[in-house]
Amino acid sequence: MKRSAPAKINLGLAVGALRADGRHELVSVMQAVSLCDELELVDGAGADEVVCPGVGGENLAARALALLRERSGWSGPPQRLAISKRIPVAAGLGGGSSDAAAALAMLAERAGVDDRALLHELAAQLGADVPALLEPGRVLARGAGERLTALPRSEDLYVLVLPAPGGLSTAAVYRRFDELGHPRSDAALDAVAADLARNLADGRALPEPALLANDLEPAAISLDPTIGERLARLHCAGADHALVSGSGPTTLGLYAGGDAKTRWEAGARSVAGALAVQAI
């Protein structure tokens, strides 16, 4: 069984206070893009195994397999999940989360578990980006990423993804955000969510510029000052907007409008190391 796991970008990210469960309230439009990892699930031997060459440490996809087995009670044969990475690691692009979402969906299909509510519950336990990537597209995410509202898709959004030489820990960026002390109130988050839903109800490529702000950007820049230089390169490459993706350190150049594709293609030629992707 094979499946693609797309990266996501955040079209705006408003962040509230730290909750009692250790997560933050947030509002964001999570948009899947055409940069994908490739996964293959086959019967294995001994125990479930996740193989991801070149990537060490704990793998969220392995937790997804274990969690689904535990909650569904499925006792089928050991599974071997092979992941071919294309999405940069620790980059704010949701690569690990997308792999975990794909692993949940693949094992559920293999086990005959047809329970969307259960998969969503397990995805929410795994991380803020995982629920939105169970059915990749464009969604408005609330809470800690578990409250989702589907939005009309737009195929007219073109993106330059500019990875950083190193990664940033999501937890470290959120800690710095807390230290900087500028969370949004619940009322402010509600207002952002309403504005985003209204702006994107007709399937347009991008919301109003003010709604594209990423509240984690100052925290990410304080941990990796080179982010500022990459944002400037994207602005110089004709992007309508340049911002940090998620918790960073990846930066994004967004292109929309009638001449977006032409400007995006020119930008891709001018920015060394940039990946040219589209909304899906």
Q: How many angstroms separate the CA atoms of 150 and 138, rounded?
A: 6
2 is catalytic: no
85 is catalytic: no
Catalytic residue from among 37, 48, 129, 240: 129
Q: How many angstroms separate the CA atoms of 7 and 30, rounded?
A: 10
Q: How many angstroms separate the CA atoms of 172 and 202, rounded?
A: 36
3-state secondary structure of 209: helix
Q: How many angstroms separate the CA atoms of 139 and 211, rounded?
A: 15
Residue (of 253, 266, 199) closest to 33 by Cα position:
253
65, 81 contact by CB (below 8 A): yes
Catalytic residue from among 8, 215, 224, 240: 8
Helix axes 60-72, 116-126, angle to 10 degrees: 140
Neighbours of 170 (CB within 10 A): 20
Catalytic residue annotation: 8, 129
